[in-house]
Every structure is written in C-alpha cells, then in structure tokens.
Amino acid sequence: MPLNPSWVTSANSADTDFPLNNLPYGVFSTDTLDARCGVAIGDMILDMYAAEEQGVIDLTDEPLFDVPFWNELMEQGPAVWTALRNRLTDLLAEGSKDRALVEPLLVPISDARLHMPLVVSEFTDFYAGRHHATNVGTMFRGAENALPPNWLHIPIGYNGRASSVVVSGTDIRRPWGQLKSPDHDTPAFLPSRRFDLELEMGAIVGMASDGPISVDEADAAIFGYVLLNDWSARDIQAWEYQPLGPFQAKATATSISPWIVTKAALGPFRTPTPEREFEFLDHLKDTGPMLYDIDLSVTLAPGGKDATTIAQTNYNEMYYSAAQQLAHHSTSGCPMNVGDLLGSGTISGPTKPERGSLLELSWGGKEPLTLDTGDTRTFLEDGDTLTLAGHAKGDGYRIGFGTCTGTLLPALDDPYKR
C-alpha cells in the first residue's frame, strides 16, 4: 500500500511516524487545553473533543470524546472503529472539502503534553518470545532444558498490576525488595541491584467477552497496539518466582507509548507466526497471519550522556500472536474487559544485538555491555534513560508508535525505617 497523501504536509514525509495511513490515538493537553483525546497526523494533533463538539465528528447519539481516554470509543465495537477511521481519512486527505473546518482544530505536537491514552482495566504479561525464553532458560537450566515442557503448547503468562502501568516519560523509581545472595542463607531487604528493561509490544482489548473465544474472535477484539517496557527487578524475581512466578519483581512499573496504533493501520504489515514444532490444540491453531512486521529498537542513555542503541529486533520474532494469547486467556471462562492490556513478553531475535533485555545482552551479568560513551552495563544504573521505538515500513512511509521512554531514579531511603 502506498502513502496516502494529506493536506497536512508534515504527514507526507517518509520520516514521520504519523502519516495519514496511521492516525494513532492518544490523549494530550496544553497550557490552555485540558487533557482530551487526539489523533496524531504528521507533527500535529487533531483535537477530537473540539471536532465532536463542533459536529465535524458525529458517530453516535452520545458523545465519545468528552473524556480523556479512548475506552468510550472501544466500547462501540469494530463498526464504529471503522467509521471513525474512514471519517478521519476523509477529513485529512489531500483535497478534502472539509479542510477549512479541520485546520483550526489542529494543535502542534511540540506544544502538547501526552497522557495515558486509555484506562487500563487489567494487565497480563506473557512470556511468548522463543528466543528470549530459550536464552533465559539456558542461563538458568542449561540448553537441554531451556524451555519448560509446556512452552511450545501454550502461551505462558501471569496477571500483573494495571495500577502500575504508566505512560512514556514517567520516571521510574528503583524498587526495594527481598533479595537472596548465594553467599547467605537468609534474604535481606535492599534496593534492587539487577534492574532491567523488557522490550515488548502491548495489545489493547477493545471488546469485552465472557467465556472462551476463538483466535479469530480474539483478533477481532483487539483495538490496537502500543510499545511496552515491562521493567523487571531480576534479583527480586530470582528469590520470589518459585513456585508461583513473578510478583513484586514486575510490580514496580510498566511503561507504554502514548499513541495507540490501530489494528487497521497495521493491517498491511501482517506476517505469519513461525513454523510449529508441535501442532497446537484446536483453540490455539493459527488461522492466518496474525503477527506484524514491526522493527523495534532500544536505546540507553546514561545520565547526561548520549544514547546508544543496545538492541534492534522485530515483532515478527514472537512465537504466539496477541490473538492467540487473548484466546488462551479466555479458555477458563475468564471475562476479558474493554481496556485490558496484554504484554507480548520480551521480544528477542536469534542474534545477540537482537536481545530485548539486559539480562540477555549481558548474559546474566557475566558479559558487560559497552556503550558508545565508554560506559559499561550489566543492568540499569540510576540516571539511565531507556527509549523504545518501533515502526512498520511501507512504500515511502512508515507506521510508527512514537517512543516509550523512562528514566531510572535512585531508590528512596528504606521505607520501613521510621
């Protein structure tokens, strides 16, 4: 599919994340405007609250954009999702008869503060990248036992904390936790010493369900995607994860990018899941290409210094699609809600530069990573800024997500010493 030209000239650049083919959804405010829904187009944001108030956007009998989140639109279902995308395309396309109505409703992105684009109902994080799972398993169990027996049959996941999901640009505080040293028999309560990032994609559920749903029904229920960094305290996790898995190690924060890229925008970039080693049970079988060809990268900038690209990979490296993850999540009868967020699991490729976590890049701390600044890292240090970026490449354009950024702040003083 070629570039769809817009009268917003900045949207026609091959370097913008937000051409007319994209139209991602976010929430913004300015010095004079309260937080409200907006659609990115080039270097501008279309004010959806004003567009609806002035009748430029009129989709339903009740307003959808009088609140600073996109859940109201999600609840309307795919027919309204499509109607909005078609209307936005008509309004912003080159030669649109409505340009005079829309142009006053545009706000420069440079003047905007970006906020959480949705109310997260629940958060589930998966462990569904084969290269990542193999790397981690090899480190802790050896190559012969790298993958648990169930891994090639079901997408493994855990229920996280929706309350700890934050938008890009939010600082992250190094957590305290119970740590166990191999040199001591008992644990100590200390700040995490092995704090890490996880490069992931997040799928947003736009349709509620109550009972098992198929892979195709799950795919239809997905509203869009965001970049996701599931910050992880590896030392806290090492002590707590047996026998029940991640808990406090993953509860500090999960950062997401501020723009929701819709499934429709990503449609031209669908790609198949990898060849299966075992045939899936019926409820998980592949029904078509449900992954996406999205280039991903991570940069690390020590405090006050330039950034180094530490990882480059692609979302097509996943073993399970978001639709398979969502379908499996529903098998027990677990109700899924509008605004549920599903983390893909760490996305790594087959080579070292494609590893999506410092745990893998430094091989558990044994192989320090040297940055362009000359600094070395095994895990994150205070003041480090992590930036995730991603885009799908079209013919003369790209579908981008913006960035997902967070800076690690030092741990507070012992919270239990009064």
Residue 159 has pLDDT above 90, yes or no: yes
Residue 1 has pLDDT above 90, yes or no: no
- CA 153 vs CA 111, 126, 146, 321, 377: distances in Å: 48, 14, 15, 13, 35
Residue 182 has pLDDT above 80, yes or no: no
Q: Check residue 31 and give left, alpha or beta (phi > 0: left; psi -120 to 50: alpha).
A: alpha
Cα separation of 367 and 63, whole Å? 55
Residue 127 has pLDDT above 80, yes or no: yes
Cα separation of 77 and 224, whole Å? 12
Give residue for tokens 């109505």: 101
What average pLDDT is seen over the chain?
Answer: 96
Q: What per-residue confidence (pLDDT) applies to 243?
A: 85
Domains of the chain: 9-115 (2.30.30.230), 123-409 (3.90.850.10)
Q: How confident is the model at residue 180 (pLDDT cuts 50, 70, 90)?
A: confident
> Residue 232 pairs with which residues in a beta bridge?
196
Mean pLDDT on 199-224: 98
Q: What per-residue confidence (pLDDT) applies to 338?
A: 98
pLDDT, tens digit (0-9, with 9 covering 90-100), for 332-344? 999 999 999 999 9
List residues with catalytic annotation: 132
The kind and range of the H/E element at 165 are strand 165-167
> Residue 399 pairs with which residues in a beta bridge?
392
Mean pLDDT on 298-324: 98
Q: What per-residue confidence (pLDDT) applies to 184?
A: 75
> Which DSSP state fits 95?
T
pLDDT, tens digit (0-9, with 9 covering 90-100), for 347-377? 999 999 999 999 999 999 999 999 999 999 9
Q: What per-residue confidence (pLDDT) applies to 213?
A: 98
Give residue for tokens 């996943």: 318
Q: What per-residue confidence (pLDDT) applies to 241?
A: 87
Residue 407 · residue 383 · CB < 8 Å: yes
Residue 380 · residue 298 · CB < 8 Å: no
Residue 162 has pLDDT above 80, yes or no: yes
- 24, 46, 32, 33: which is closest to 117 by C-alpha? 24
pLDDT, tens digit (0-9, with 9 covering 90-100), for 266-284? 999 999 999 999 999 999 9
Q: Which pTM value belongs to this model?
A: 0.97
